[in-house]
Amino acid sequence: MATLGNSANIFWHECPVGQAERQKLLNQKGCVVWITGLSGSGKSTLACTLGRELHSRGHLSYVLDGDNLRHGLNKNLGFAPEDRTENIRRVGEVAKLFADAGLICIASLISPYRKDRDSCRALLPDANFIEARILVFMNMPLSLCEGRDPKGLYKLARAGKIKGFTGIDDPYEAPSNCEIELRQINGVCPAPSEMAGKVVSYLDGKGFLQA
Ligand SMILES: Nc1ncnc2c1ncn2[C@@H]1O[C@H](COP(=O)(O)OS(=O)(=O)O)[C@@H](OP(=O)(O)O)[C@H]1O
Ligand SMILES: Nc1ncnc2c1ncn2[C@@H]1O[C@H](COP(=O)(O)OP(=O)(O)O)[C@@H](O)[C@H]1O
């Protein structure tokens, strides 16, 4: 295993029950649905709707939400570029563990930088030659997100009271390699249930909803 960082004299310990056996127990394949997009684009709403839909179909999933993780695991991180990079790295590693546990892990973070998203993708081994990291891009215009502004953060950012806010004075690098792109249709944002349905269909089609 070439995954060591600063630790020395560390060995990998293999456990007798492996991912395949856990997946059989759960009748699904572990994977990561990674939702990226601007603040207010609907990431958390989609993550929760998708989690509910999977649950009602008898599938075990778990949501890793950027905001929530910053209350605990990532409470020591801010929004400077290097902090966002570390945030994404940690969540990528946790998501990998959840997928190894056999769960459908739904990660919803702004994850604005392409290189961080790409590093995260590289962490995850393919499931039988199928990419086990499904990138979902909430491609909603800034005007829509800013118009929603449920937490009033865009307003603060425009007033210069929050510095380095994504989409205002910190970049959002749109992905060019996403598996699913969700956008407005004729100027109308699809309902969360419709978007969740698209993701479920994708997972089903790729065989993740069976062992
Ligand atoms: N400067 C700045 N830029 C962007 N967002 C900010 C900032 N400060 C606070 N917030 C709030 O933090 C939420 C984003 O956290 P993430 O962990 O998803 O961000 S990142 O992926 O590390 O960029 C984000 O939540 P969402 O609105 O759910 O995306 C914001 O509520
Ligand atoms: N598909 C949708 N259609 C209409 N409003 C939505 C939709 N998805 C989310 N919203 C609303 O937009 C706001 C931001 O959604 P949220 O899921 O918190 O976004 P994010 O997690 O990307 O910041 C919330 O007020 C939410 O109710």
Give me the CATH number covering residue 58. Answer: 3.40.50.300
CA-based nearest residue to 139, from 66, 31, 35, 52: 35
| 194 Cβ inside 6 Å of ligand 2 | no
> What string of DSSP letters covers 86-102?
HHHHHHHHHHHHHHHTT
Is 148 within the bounds of a domain? no
Burial (CB count within 10 angstroms: exposed 0-12, middle 13-18, buried 19+), residue 64: buried
Burial (CB count within 10 angstroms: exposed 0-12, middle 13-18, buried 19+), residue 191: exposed
Alpha-carbon 20 to chain mean position = 23
Is 201 within the bounds of a domain? yes
What backbone torsions phi and psi does residue 104 show, to the nearest 5 degrees? -95, 105
Low-confidence ranges of the chain (pLDDT < 70): 1-3
Extract the tokens encoding 174.
């749109």
pLDDT value of position 62: 98
Containing structural domain, residue 95: 19-141+171-206
Q: Which of 36, 43, 45, 153 maximizes ligand 2 atoms within 8 Å of its Cβ, making it the mutation to test the pocket?
A: 45
Q: Which of 43, 44, 79 maximizes ligand 1 atoms within 8 Å of its Cβ, making it the mutation to test the pocket?
A: 79
Q: Is the pTM of this model over 0.95?
A: yes
**Positions marked active-site:** 111
Tell me the ligand closest to 139's alpha carbon. 2
Is 165 within the bounds of a domain? no
How many CA atoms are closer than 13 Å to the CA of 206, on its beta-carbon side?
23
User: By the 8 A CB rule, do 60 and 209 touch?
Assistant: no
Strands 61-65, 133-138: pairing is: unpaired
CA-based nearest residue to 145, from 35, 37, 36, 41: 41
Is 12 within the bounds of a domain? no
How many CA atoms are closer than 13 Å to the CA of 133, on its beta-carbon side?
24
| 189 Cβ inside 6 Å of ligand 2 | yes
3-state secondary structure of 83: helix
pLDDT value of position 25: 98
Alpha-carbon 33 to chain mean position = 6
Q: Number of folded domains in the chain?
A: 1
pLDDT value of position 127: 81
Is 11 within the bounds of a domain? no
Is 59 within the bounds of a domain? yes
Ligand 1 atom closest to Cα of 40?
27
pLDDT value of position 3: 64
Extract the tokens encoding 73.
């695991």
pLDDT value of position 1: 44
Is 150 within the bounds of a domain? no
| 23 Cβ inside 6 Å of ligand 1 | no
Taken as a whole, the chain contains a residue count of 211
Is 155 within the bounds of a domain? no
Instruction: List, for residues 168-200, the tens digit of each pLDDT value.
Output: 999 999 999 999 999 999 999 999 999 999 999
